[in-house]
């Protein structure tokens, strides 16, 4: 009932061509990061999340409604301080953007116009990220358990040397709007067993604390665009040795 009302309210607001710059309400089991509870969980979680500072500092909105994977990769590479291209409009400063991360090399994995129309799969995200001087490990949820996901993600979050990008089905998380989606995880709270999802669709949902079991269930869904393989997560980490090849 609450959801129906929220949806009706959103429609009424949108009819006028103007609506409040306020994301949609989250399902009850998800905690809005901006709320009093959301901020309390952040304070509780800090010893588990050395990477929070670096990732929140580069939080950005996906450039189009199909660019969730692109935005998530840009956040990961910038948070890890990977060698970045110097391109307009930011030269002489080096930074990854959703405009300079895709090129002829990445087109061989997934052409830019296809990403613009339909996004990408978890394996394609892993393939594109692997073209940059970082270490990439792709994990399909069907090959994992809630426990193995939690253990792997918490360990890397705590170290601060890796970014976890999750690929999940929004409707399986009880979100009303959307299909497959990517976003990076910013922190973990042991007390509530929740991950902070820095949702790159910021025009739609705010950052939120999601229960590990709920998140895993939403990752453990078949992706029809990926030969029915399950969604899952990618661990993108700083390469130990100095990079030998330029990023672009």
Give the interface segment with a second copy, choosing from 21-29, 121-129, 144-152, 212-220 (CB under 8 A): 21-29
Distances (CA, A) of 200 to 47, 67, 159, 183, 241: 24, 9, 23, 6, 30
d(CA 239, CA 157): 16
Distances (CA, A) of 218 to 128, 163, 175, 206, 211: 23, 19, 10, 18, 11
Which string of x and - marks every residue 69-98 that binds a second copy (by CB under 8 A)? --------xx-xxxxxxx--xx-xxxxx--
User: Which of 68, 139, 189, 214 is flagged as catalytic?
Assistant: 68
Whichever of 180 and 186 has its CB closer to a second copy, that residue is 186
d(CA 232, CA 209): 18
Q: CB-based burial of residue 69 (10 Å sphere; 0-12 exposed, 13-18 middle, 19+ buried)?
A: buried
11 is catalytic: no
Which string of x and - marks every residue 31-70 that binds a second copy (by CB under 8 A)? --xxx--xx--xx--x-----xxx-xxxxxx-xxx-----
How many residues contact a second copy, by CB under 8 A? 55
- What is the four-CA torsion angle of 37, 65, 111, 56, rounded to 10 degrees? -30
Instruction: Give least dist CB 209 to a second copy, A.
Output: 11
User: Which of 175, 181, 214, 223 is flagged as catalytic?
Assistant: 181
Among all residues, which ones are annotated catalytic? 68, 181, 199
Residues found near a second copy in the complex (CB under 8 A):
13-14, 16-24, 33-35, 38-39, 42-43, 46, 52-54, 56-61, 63-65, 77-78, 80-86, 89-90, 92-96, 202-204, 206-207, 246-248
């Amino acid at each position: 009932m609450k959801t129906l009302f929220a949806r009706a309210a959103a429609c009424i607001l949108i009819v006028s061509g103007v609506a409040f710059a306020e994301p949609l309400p989250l399902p009850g089991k998800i905690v809005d990061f901006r709320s009093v509870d959301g901020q309390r969980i952040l304070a509780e979680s800090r010893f588990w999340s050395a990477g929070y500072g670096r990732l929140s500092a580069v939080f950005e909105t996906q450039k189009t409604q199909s660019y969730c994977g692109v935005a998530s990769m840009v956040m990961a590479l910038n948070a890890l301080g990977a060698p970045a291209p110097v391109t307009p409009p930011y030269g002489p400063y080096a930074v990854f953007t959703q405009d300079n991360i895709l090129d002829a090399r990445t087109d061989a994995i997934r052409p830019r116009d296809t990403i613009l129309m339909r996004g990408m799969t978890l394996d394609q995200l892993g393939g594109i990220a692997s073209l940059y001087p970082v270490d990439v490990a792709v994990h399909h949820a069907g090959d994992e358990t809630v426990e193995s996901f939690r253990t792997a993600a918490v360990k890397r979050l705590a170290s601060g040397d890796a970014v976890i990008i999750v690929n999940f089905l929004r409707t399986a998380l009880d979100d009303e709007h959307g299909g497959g989606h990517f976003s990076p995880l910013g922190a973990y709270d042991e007390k509530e067993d929740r991950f902070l999802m820095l949702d790159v669709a910021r025009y739609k949902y705010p950052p939120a604390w999601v229960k590990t079991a709920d998140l895993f269930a939403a990752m453990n869904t078949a992706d029809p665009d990926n030969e029915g393989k399950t969604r899952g997560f990618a661990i993108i980490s700083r390469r130990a040795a100095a990079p030998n090849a330029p990023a672009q």
